């Protein structure tokens, strides 16, 4: 009978964070193996020390080097491959003799852990099992008291050994991040955060949960003081107070900030908007938009119908007058057929003159739909709403005709609703008086959402029955082109416009 190999995670450093199962297996093992640098001191063994017993065989697996400088003919990787092969052979001898072996691993054995090199070399010959442990990332978030990520935010784990420009690109495109393997890489890691524009959001955590634990803003850390057992953490943006560079300028006596959430989920939301929402006392808006935001115990949500914009604006300003930091939310951009106009109109009244009002932009639906097919709005265009709730149809028709006669591409918001079912057909007929039947038309529905669909058609073939309130229409100009491609049509409006006379 051969022995069994266990890769046992010890957690981030506090012996009390060793799991019950890990402690039991450590005490029962015949052989305890652990890694160390040339100095021979093992952090893993020091964490496991309370659970060791007399009579156990200890295997010290000492790294031959800790930097990439070596005269080994195979270079650094060759030296490490030989080392791991030797370690595996030493453990195999114990297993062949019927002895159970526990390999100690800081954090989690399969999370940047050395145990994985033993697992890969021995699992085909022996029974190998892994006991997970608390990772340093979880520990860092805990000691900072900052949530890692919430709802559908994205957490990215990165090694600090990546080049700064590669790290920066990853940091720009994620919500939250942890950068491991600091020490000599710290200067490059800090540069990456600066390149990504996120240095002021990041924290440094060293030896989390131990007596030597240290935390600090990343920008305050001396590179010469950074050990390998440290990491840089970019916590959840929803739960992180806004850095000064991103914080909206508001009055400490209460304020109203009007924000755009973008057309769909949180990945469309700007960091500036995230921070404003995180700092708010009250959140106000159309019910479905407010519901998109996470619930926080200290915040109050006020959802309402979409037909009470002026009342909603007055309510927000009245709360601000009482000292509340109020955020009024809109879908897309707040200045495009949304709440910025309503709030600023009401705020212009004398009784609200002392209330600070800030507008933070968001990704508007027209640009979101356009991006799905190329660049149909690549030249001059206008934006129109077909809703006749706040303006008569005669005005809408006149503007449509004027835009069409001026050969502008057109983005049409609010094209239809349950009570408005004829305007799309009327719009099509008006535009056909000035545009060719083959003019490209894009119908975007729920772009960025779970039921997203984007259809490229022509003005003559536009079917009004396929258009509802969740749609946005893009109508091309005379210069807009549709190019068939295997992955779907590409639609663009060139930035050049043909000259009709001598220049």
What pLDDT is attached to residue 305?
A: 81
Model confidence band, residue 67 (pLDDT cutoffs 50, 70, 90): low
Three-class SS state of 319: helix
Co-location of 120 and 192 in the same domain = no
pLDDT of residue 503: 46
Let me know whether 10 and 126 are in one domain: yes
pLDDT of residue 129 exceeding 60, the answer is yes
Task: Give phi and psi for 245, each to the nearest 5.
Answer: -70, -25
Let me know whether 376 and 403 are in one domain: yes
What value, to the nearest 5°, has the Cα angle with vertex 346 and ends 340 and 348? 100
Out of 88-97, 144-153, 386-395, the most confident range is: 88-97
Task: Tell whether 183 is covered by a domain.
Answer: yes
Tell whether 351 and 391 lie within a shared domain.
Answer: no
Range of the domain at 122: 5-133
Asked if residue 38 has pLDDT above 90, the reply is no
Split into its structural domains, the chain has a count of: 4
Within-domain flag for 25: yes
Q: What is the separation of C-alpha 467 from the centre of its chain, rounded to a whole number of angstroms?
A: 32
Q: Do 441 and 473 have their domain in common?
A: yes
Average pLDDT rounded to a whole number, residues 91-101: 97
- Per the prediction, the chain carries an average pLDDT of 90
Task: Give 20's contacts (C-beta < 8 A, 6+ positions apart).
Answer: none
Residue 484 domain-assigned (yes or no): yes
Q: Look-up: residue for tokens 């609703």? A: 417
Are residues 371 and 439 located together in one domain of the fold? yes
d(CA 495, CA 503): 18
CA distance 476 to 379: 10
Residue 129 belongs to a domain: yes
pLDDT at 389: 81
Counting residues of the chain whose pLDDT is more than 90, the rounded percentage is: 70
Task: Express each pLDDT in 371-388 by its tens digit.
Answer: 999 999 999 999 999 988
Which residue in the block uniquely carries the two structure tokens 């030597």? 212
Low-confidence winner among 197-211, 223-237, 264-278 (lowest mean pLDDT): 264-278
Predicted confidence at residue 500, as pLDDT, reads 61
Q: What is the CATH number of the domain that holds 43?
A: 3.40.1010.10
Question: Are 12 and 105 in a shared domain?
Answer: yes
Supply the pLDDT for residue 403: 95
Picking from 133, 163, 180, the residue at the C-terminal end of a domain is: 133
Q: Give the pLDDT band (50/70/90) at residue 252.
A: low
Let me know: does 204 contact 215? Beta carbons within 8 Å: yes
Flag whether 241 is in a domain.
Answer: no
For residues 351 and 216, give the distance between their C-alpha atoms in angstroms, rounded to a whole number.
44
Does residue 142 have a pLDDT over 70?
yes
Residues 159 and 41 in one domain: no
Asked whether residue 245 is domain-assigned, the answer is no
pLDDT of residue 434: 93
CB 112 within 8 A of CB 159: yes
Decide which of 339, 360, 381 is a domain's last residue: 360
pLDDT at 240 > cutoff 70 = no
What pLDDT shows up at residue 68?
59
- Tokens representing residue 473 in the block: 């229409």
The whole-number pLDDT of residue 239 equals 61
pLDDT of residue 241: 52
- Whether 151 and 175 map to the same domain: the answer is yes
Residue range 189-219, pLDDT digits in tens: 999 999 888 888 899 999 999 989 999 999 9
Pairing state between β 490-492 and 374-375? parallel
Any domain includes 248: no
Position 308 pLDDT exceeds 90? no
Shared domain check, 438 and 335: no
| 228 touches 31 (CB < 8 A) | no
Residue 245 has pLDDT above 60, yes or no: no
Q: Which of 467, 466, 479, 496 is nearest to 409 (CA)?
A: 479
Proportion of the chain above pLDDT 70, given as a percent: 95
Average pLDDT over residues 310-332: 93
| pTM as predicted | 0.52
Same domain, 79 and 189: no
What are the tokens at 215? 């935390």
Question: Is pLDDT at 243 greater than 60 in this prediction?
Answer: no
Residue 475 scores a pLDDT above 50: yes
- Would the pLDDT of 275 be above 90? no
CATH of residue 444: 3.30.950.10
The answer to whether the CB of 189 falls within 8 A of the CB of 195 is: no
Q: In the chain, helix, strand, coil percent, each to 5?
A: 35, 25, 45
Tell me, yes or no, whether 239 lies in a domain.
no
Higher pLDDT, 247 or 116: 116
Q: Which of 113, 133, 153 is the last residue of a domain?
A: 133
Contacts of 502 (CB under 8 A, 6+ apart): none
pLDDT at 246: 42
User: What average pLDDT does this structure show over 162-184?
Assistant: 92
Res 501 pLDDT > 70: no
CA atoms of 70 and 62, how far apart (whole Å): 16
pLDDT greater than 60 at residue 224: yes
Note whether 288 and 384 are same-domain residues.
no
């Amino acid at each position: 009978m051969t022995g069994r190999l266990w890769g046992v995670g010890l957690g981030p450093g506090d012996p009390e964070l060793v799991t019950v199962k890990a402690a039991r297996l450590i005490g029962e093992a015949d052989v305890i193996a652990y890694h160390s640098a040339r100095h021979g001191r093992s952090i893993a063994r020091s964490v496991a020390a309370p659970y060791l017993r007399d009579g156990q065989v200890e295997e010290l697996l000492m790294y031959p080097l800790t930097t990439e400088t070596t005269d080994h003919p195979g270079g650094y990787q060759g030296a490490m491959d030989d080392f791991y092969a030797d370690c595996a052979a030493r453990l195999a001898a114990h297993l062949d003799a019927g002895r159970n072996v526990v390999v100690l691993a800081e954090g989690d054995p399969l999370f940047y852990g050395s145990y994985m090199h033993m697992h890969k070399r021995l699992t085909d010959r022996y029974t190998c099992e892994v006991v997970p442990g608390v990772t340093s990332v979880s520990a860092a978030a805990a000691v900072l008291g900052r949530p890692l990520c919430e709802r559908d935010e994205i957490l990215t784990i990165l090694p600090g050994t990546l080049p700064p420009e590669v790290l920066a690109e990853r940091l720009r495109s994620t919500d939250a991040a942890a950068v491991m393997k600091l020490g000599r890489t710290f200067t490059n890691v800090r540069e990456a955060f600066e390149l990504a524009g996120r240095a002021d959001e990041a924290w440094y955590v060293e030896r989390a949960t131990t007596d030597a634990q240290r935390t600090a803003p990343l920008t305050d850390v001396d590179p010469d003081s950074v050990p390998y057992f440290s990491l840089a953490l970019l916590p959840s943006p929803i739960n992180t107070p806004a850095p000064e560079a991103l914080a909206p300028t508001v009055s400490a006596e209460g304020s109203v900030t009007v924000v755009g959430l973008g057309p769909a989920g949180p990945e469309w939301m700007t960091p500036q908007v995230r921070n404003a929402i995180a700092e708010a006392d009250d959140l106000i808006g159309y019910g479905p938009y407010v519901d998109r935001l996470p619930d926080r115990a200290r915040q109050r949500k006020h959802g309402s119908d979409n037909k009470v914009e002026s009342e909603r604006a007055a309510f927000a300003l009245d709360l601000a007058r009482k000292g509340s930091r109020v955020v009024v939310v809109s879908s897309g951009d707040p200045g495009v057929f949304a709440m910025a106009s309503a709030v600023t109109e009401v705020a212009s009244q004398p009784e609200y003159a002392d209330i600070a009002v800030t507008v933070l932009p968001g990704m508007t639906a027209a640009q979101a739909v356009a991006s799905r097919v190329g660049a149909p709005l690549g030249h001059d265009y206008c934006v129109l709403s077909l809703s006749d709730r706040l303006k008569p149809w005669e005005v809408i028709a006149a503007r449509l005709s004027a835009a069409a006669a001026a050969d502008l591409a057109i983005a049409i918001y609010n094209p239809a609703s349950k009570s408005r079912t004829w305007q799309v057909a009327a719009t099509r007929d008006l535009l056909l008086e000035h545009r060719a039947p083959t003019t490209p038309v894009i119908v975007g529905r729920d772009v960025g959402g779970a039921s997203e669909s984007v259809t490229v058609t022509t003005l003559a073939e536009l079917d009004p029955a396929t258009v509802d309130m969740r749609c946005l229409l893009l109508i091309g100009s005379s210069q807009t082109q549709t190019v068939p491609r295997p992955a779907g049509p590409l639609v663009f409006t060139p930035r050049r416009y043909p000259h009709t006379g001598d220049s």
